[in-house]
A and B are shown apart, each in its own frame.
Chain A
């Protein structure tokens, strides 16, 4: 009975002390073009991200239709043909920052492996992403660059545009996470 009480105690204490850092205005951008005069790039400035500093768990959520392009027709094709955003409105990442200890964060960037599941177009894949993290005035800064293969997520590129659209999409994310009260 005593043992059970102690377990309960530790469990709830660990819950209470769980400190979270989050943002609703994270920037996620990508470049998906081959080297041509017409660059295919877009930015999503309303990505949501959250990190639990007690255990390094992380979740990221973004809406596909929030990616903005310079050419409106590209945006239309991105939503309608490639990402089918009416059918699959969200892209998510859920994972854990390996060996993360909040106390060890400094004012200079440190590299971490982030292991988790990236879900795009309803397809879930396990990935390991390199993240650069540092302490900021208001919380934590998280930056990452990684590559996604279109064929992994059933994004079909027709033959006629194969020399314009790259099969490897470069994704860049910058999240300024602020302590959540």
Chain B
């Protein structure tokens, strides 16, 4: 009789207990969902001073405000450069899927900038890297017609083309390289060159869920020997709070547009001639 009781327990109660989880197993096998969400390699559209592979999503509107203060070499007299700020205000918009356009005005060389940034390939489980194209055109309105009476309007233009290639190695760690070309139509000094070939590299390590340490470095490949320009090293911290990303940074350039960063850096880390700045990114 004991045996019979045992069977009653096993057959009448165990199916009842296991059935619920069996149901879950059953639908787990059948679900056809494929994960399409991929985490981006970087939080903001810039790593520090250079463009990242992050794009505004379709119909998302961003406001990008950048400040670059004067050289911290100024010491207490200029409160470490805080007296001399370079301000850039930029509007970004996700026009299409994987296409972002932007317009900005910056104090540095009184520059207007128009850009388009477009996703070519996204990193997924099946593809190891993200590839993004970036093209922009600068209008330098600081060139004085009194100084340069023969200046043609189109000589104020600077063209920038970049291919951004990033890989998110893990949730915390991402790297990027970006071969870049900056073309000046007008050279203010003999030490500048019109076609500038530059190799950018950058990366980030997340310190916490909402903050990361970022670095980027630009290496100029064909700088003239009499040039006083420097390669650019920028260090920054990203802090994300809901709809904002704050980027605090130190760099040896005071510019914050690509042409300025890549071909006008004069500061020197070794001499302490560096600039403090920040970017604020806000989504609407």
Contacts and interface: CB of A to CB of B under 8 A. Distances in A.
B35 A65 contact: yes
Interface string B267-284: 000000000000000010
Q: A15, A61, A96 — which one has the most chain B CB atoms within 10 A of its CB?
A: A61
A75 to B, nearest CB: 7
B8 interface: yes
A71 interface: yes
A81 B212 CA distance: 13
Interface string A32-60: 00000010000000101110100101110
Interface residues of A, number: 45
Contacts of B20: 57-59, 94-96, 116
Contacts of A63: 31, 33, 35
Nearest to A69: B57
Contact of A59 (B11, B27, B57, B94): B27
Contact of B60 (A11, A72, A96): A72
Contacts of B242: 77, 160-161, 164
Contacts of A22: 27, 30
Interface in A6-48: 7-8, 11, 14-15, 20, 22, 24, 38, 46, 48
Nearest to B8: A7
Contacts of B60: 71-73
Nearest to B58: A72
B4 interface: yes
* Chain A facing B: main interface SS: mixed
Nearest to A165: B242
* Chain B facing A: main interface SS: mixed
B35 A80 contact: no
A178 B32 CA distance: 17
B23 A76 contact: no
A92 interface: yes
Q: Interface residues of B toward A: which range?
A: 35 or more
Contacts of B207: none
A141 interface: no
Interface string A90-124: 00101110000000000000000000100000000
A86 interface: yes
A94 B24 contact: yes
A126 to B, nearest CB: 13
Contact of A81 (B15, B30, B32, B210): B210
Q: B12, B19, B60, B241 — which one has the most chain A CB atoms within 10 A of its CB?
A: B19
B195 interface: no
Interface in B227-284: 240-243, 283
Nearest to A72: B57
Contacts of B57: 71-73
A55 B4 contact: no
Interface string B18-49: 01110110111011110111011000000000
17 contacts: A4-B7, A7-B7, A14-B15, A46-B32, A48-B30, A57-B23, A58-B23, A59-B20, A59-B24, A61-B27, A63-B31, A72-B94, A73-B283, A75-B37, A77-B242, A86-B39, A86-B171
A151 to B, nearest CB: 17
Nearest to A95: B20
A101 B33 CA distance: 31
B23 A50 contact: yes
B154 interface: no
Contacts of B32: 24, 46
B21 A94 contact: yes
A14 B19 CA distance: 12
B210 A57 contact: no
Q: Which 4 A-B pairs have the closest CB atoms?
A: A72-B57, A59-B23, A65-B37, A59-B24
B153 interface: no
Given A24-B32, A89-B35, A55 B19 contact: yes
A44 B104 CA distance: 37
Given A24-B30, A81-B210, 14 more contacts: A14-B15, A24-B31, A38-B243, A46-B32, A46-B33, A52-B23, A57-B19, A59-B20, A59-B23, A66-B35, A73-B60, A86-B39, A96-B20, A161-B241
A181 interface: no
B4 A4 contact: yes
Contacts of A20: 23
